[in-house]
């Protein structure tokens, strides 16, 4: 399958070629004709599958703006959960539209609203926004009567972040006969409920197994004692000459601590989490993309919006508190068919968490040790006792344990049980 066969117009084909895309990815092959045919879509697609182009290219094709057009009106609205992701989508769509006369604007919180209003006054065809800021603009007079396409990207994340009310508010503001495209990494009940509200006779696209990780990612877990994790991380980066690594922690506090430790080890690091000002976050991200920073320490806030080309390594310094977030974290590597490596440093407390993750992704993650960093067996015994006495949420769920044990023979069956999983979200963002 080629992009030409999908019937894309010349300006788009040239832009894609310049970006080095040779063939459409699966989601692009399936979504592009449907979007062009004005069908509503419900697509479950993993991160890194090329879904931005899957909706971006046919939207641009539908606008067909090759010549200068003085009468601009907002024709497409793309909502995404985070500022970083919105900016990423804006950059991608602007790249695809480089040979067209299409104007895009990104409207995210944390940026001056009046500057955004001035941009909107010039006439915009495509708006990419976070839900809250988009509604603010509508309340301030942004005209949405001409909207033809409405995209809800990363719907599951958006609902998890509490944007349900905002999305429900946006939908009735748009013209009755608009097309809605809903993309979600997971197929949760919440997402299905939203889909029933916003979609009309949608075409379903499922490009991957639910919650499975991308095939091109090589996943390993290294067993290590908690107090030696930072040392092991620095050792791995140094001894294996990792050129660029994205390191995830579970909390802001551990991200801060790790950042300081790695700097002490002489590594050029950046830090991104929810308490860091937006401007600083974007600057750090840009430095990381340019290769000025070797190690980027981040909490899960960064795991969705980041798109760094050829990112070869993701390290989970701590496993996420929500097993599904593992998929999003490791999805930062192995993008669009490239190979990547995801390493998880797991201590005794996390041995149960990794089982949950294995159930969710439907694969076993090989557990290894690094010479010189083998866990101390005496600490292990003591910690297991303390864990089972003190930490109720870390106790393995008996039902899930049984399913896990069936894993090698019946992973598909085991995955069904995760629907009922209840996990507490702590201060991850
Ligand atoms: P996305 O899933 O939209 O975040 O895309 C992930 C990455 O894949 C981005 O860096 C895109 O530029 C890239 N990409 C998207 N489509 C293709 C394609 N057909 N061939 C190669 N790379 C692509």
What does the pLDDT read at residue 124? 93
Please state the rounded mean pLDDT for residues 197-226: 79
Scanning 10-65, the segments in alpha helix (DSSP H) are 10-19, 26-36, 51-63
In sequence order, the β-bridge partners of residue 129 are: 79, 107
Residue that wins the pLDDT comparison between 323 and 12:
12
Maximum C-alpha span of the chain: 74
In the reported structure, the alpha carbon of residue 49 is separated from the centroid of ligand 1 by a whole-number distance in angstroms of 6
- Pocket of ligand 1 contains residue 340 by CB under 6 Å: no
CB of 125 closer than 8 Å to CB of 61: no
Would you tell me how many other CB atoms lie within 10 Å of the CB of residue 86? 25
Cα of 285 vs centre of ligand 1, distance in Å, is 18
**Cα of 135 to ligand 1 centre, how many Å?**
29
The residues with which 338 forms a beta bridge, in sequence order, are none
Measuring from atom 20 of ligand 1, which residue has the nearest CA? 21
Query: Could you tell me if the CB of 88 is within 6 A of ligand 1?
Result: no
Ligand 1 close to Cβ of residue 336 (< 6 A): yes
pTM, full prediction: 0.59
**DSSP structure class, residue 25:** -
Q: What percent of the chain has pLDDT over 70?
A: 81
| pLDDT at position 182 | 96
| CB contact at 8 A, 132 and 158 | no
Does residue 304's CB lie within 6 angstroms of at least one atom of ligand 1? no
Lowest mean pLDDT among 37-41, 58-62, 206-210, 344-348: 206-210
Predicted confidence (pLDDT) per residue in 358-406, tens digit? 877 777 899 999 999 998 877 654 554 444 333 333 444 444 444 434 4
Tell me which of 241-250, 289-298, 356-365 is least confident.
356-365
Provide mean pLDDT across the span 174-188: 90
Q: Is pLDDT at 198 greater than 80 in this prediction?
A: yes
* pLDDT given at position 417: 35
- With a pLDDT cut of 90, the percent of the chain lying above it is 48
**Rounded to the nearest 5°, which phi and psi values hold at 156?**
-60, -40
Counting atoms of ligand 1 from 1, which one is nearest the CA of 25?
19
Q: What is the reported pLDDT for 108?
A: 93
* Total H helices, total E strands in the chain: 18, 14
Tell me how far apart the alpha carbons of residues 1 and 3 are, in angstroms, rounded to a whole number: 7
Question: For residue range 94-108, what is the model confidence (pLDDT) as tens digits?
Answer: 999 999 989 999 999
Collapse the DSSP code of 12 into the 3-class scheme (helix H, G, I; strand E, B; otherwise coil) and give the result. Answer: helix
- Give the CA distances from residue 177 to residues 147, 167, 171, 200, 364, in Å, rounded to whole numbers and listed in that order: 9, 17, 11, 10, 46
Name which residue leads in pLDDT, 406 or 15.
15
Q: Measured from the CB, is residue 49 less than 6 Å from ligand 1?
A: yes
Alpha helices in 265-406 (DSSP H): 278-289, 301-305, 323-330, 351-361, 377-390, 398-405
pLDDT of residue 218: 86
Q: How far apart are CA 402 and CA 194, in angstroms?
A: 33
CB burial readout 343-357, b (16+ within 10 A) else e:
bbbbbbbbbbbbbbb
For residue 314, give every residue at least 6 positions away whose Cβ sits within 8 Å of its Cβ, in sequence order, or none: 245, 246, 247, 248, 329, 330, 332, 333, 340, 341, 342, 343
Is the CB of 335 inside a 6 Å radius of any atom of ligand 1?
A: yes
Ligand 1: atom nearest CA of 22 is 20
Which stretch of DSSP H or E encloses residue 84? helix 83-96
Mean pLDDT of the chain: 82
47 CA distance to ligand 1 centroid (A)? 10
Q: In angstroms, rounded to a whole number, what is the distance separating the alpha carbons of residues 237 and 295?
A: 9
Question: Per-residue pLDDT averaged across 344-354, rounded?
Answer: 88
Q: Please state, in angstroms and rounded to a whole number, the distance separating the CA atoms of residues 127 and 138.
A: 12
Position 338 scores a pLDDT of 61
- Counting from 1 in the atom list of ligand 1, the atom nearest the Cα of 20 is 21
Q: What is the Cα–Cα distance from 286 to 39, expressed in whole angstroms? A: 36
- The answer on pLDDT for 413 being more than 60 is no
Is residue 308 within 6 Å of ligand 1 at its C-beta?
no
User: Is 153's pLDDT higher than 60?
Assistant: yes
Number of the ligand 1 atom closest to the C-alpha atom of 48: 2
Q: Which helix (H) or strand (E) holds 170?
A: helix 164-173
- The structure tokens listed for 27 are 């989601």
Q: Is the CB of 48 under 6 A from ligand 1?
A: yes
Q: Is 166 helix (H, G, I), strand (E, B) or coil?
A: helix
Average pLDDT, stretch 17-46?
91
Residue 269, both tokens: 């690091």
pLDDT value of residue 202: 93
297-319: pLDDT as tens digits: 999 876 565 656 567 789 999 99
Q: What pLDDT is recorded for position 110? A: 82
CA dist., res. 179 & res. 190, Å (int) = 21
Measured in Å, residue 51 CA sits from the centre of ligand 1 at: 7
Worst-scoring range by mean pLDDT, 51-65, 331-345, 361-375?
331-345
Query: First vs last Cα of the chain: how many Å apart?
Result: 40
* pLDDT given at position 111: 83
CA–centroid distance, 50 to ligand 1, in Å, is: 4
């Amino acid at each position: 399958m080629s992009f030409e066969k999908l019937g894309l117009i010349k300006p788009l084909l040239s832009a894609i070629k310049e970006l080095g895309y040779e063939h459409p990815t699966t989601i692009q092959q399936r979504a592009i004709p449907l979007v062009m045919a004005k069908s509503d879509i419900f697509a479950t697609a993993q991160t890194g599958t090329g879904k931005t182009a899957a909706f971006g290219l046919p939207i641009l094709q539908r606008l067909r703006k090759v010549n200068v057009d003085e009468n601009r009106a907002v024709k497409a609205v793309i909502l995404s959960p985070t500022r970083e992701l919105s900016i990423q989508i804006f950059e991608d769509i602007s790249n695809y539209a480089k040979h067209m006369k299409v104007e895009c604007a990104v409207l995210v919180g944390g940026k001056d609203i009046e500057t955004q209003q001035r941009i909107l006054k010039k006439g915009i065809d495509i708006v990419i926004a976070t839900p809250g800021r988009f509604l603010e603009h509508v309340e301030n007079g942004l005209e949405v009567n001409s909207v033809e396409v409405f995209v809800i990207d990363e719907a599951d994340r958006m609902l998890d972040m509490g944007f349900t009310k905002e999305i429900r508010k946006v939908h009735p503001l748009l013209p009755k006969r608009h097309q809605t495209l809903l993309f979600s990494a997971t197929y949760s009940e919440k997402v299905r409920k939203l889909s029933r509200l916003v979609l009309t006779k949608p075409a379903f696209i499922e490009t991957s197994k639910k919650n499975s990780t991308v095939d091109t990612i090589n996943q390993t877990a290294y067993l290590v004692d908690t107090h030696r994790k930072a040392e092991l991380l620095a050792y791995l980066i140094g001894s294996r000459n990792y050129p660029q690594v994205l390191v995830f922690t579970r909390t802001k506090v551990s991200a801060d601590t790790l950042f300081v430790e790695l700097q002490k080890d002489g590594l050029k690091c950046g830090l991104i989490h929810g308490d860091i000002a937006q401007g600083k976050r974007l600057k750090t991200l840009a430095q990381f993309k340019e290769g000025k920073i070797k190690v980027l320490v981040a909490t899960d806030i960064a795991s969705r919006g980041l798109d760094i080309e050829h990112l070869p390594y993701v390290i989970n310094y701590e496993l996420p508190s929500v097993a599904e977030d593992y998929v999003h974290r490791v999805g930062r590597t192995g993008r669009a068919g490239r190979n990547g490596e995801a390493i998880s440093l797991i201590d005794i407390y996390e041995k149960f968490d990794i089982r949950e993750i294995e159930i969710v992704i439907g694969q076993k993650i090989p557990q290894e040790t690094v010479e010189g960093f083998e866990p101390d067996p005496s600490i292990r015994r003591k910690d297991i006792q303390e864990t089972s006495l003190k930490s109720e949420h870390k106790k393995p769920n008996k039902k899930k344990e049984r399913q896990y044990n069936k894993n090698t023979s019946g992973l598909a069956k085991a995955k069904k049980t995760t629907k009922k999983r209840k996990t507490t979200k702590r201060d991850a963002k």
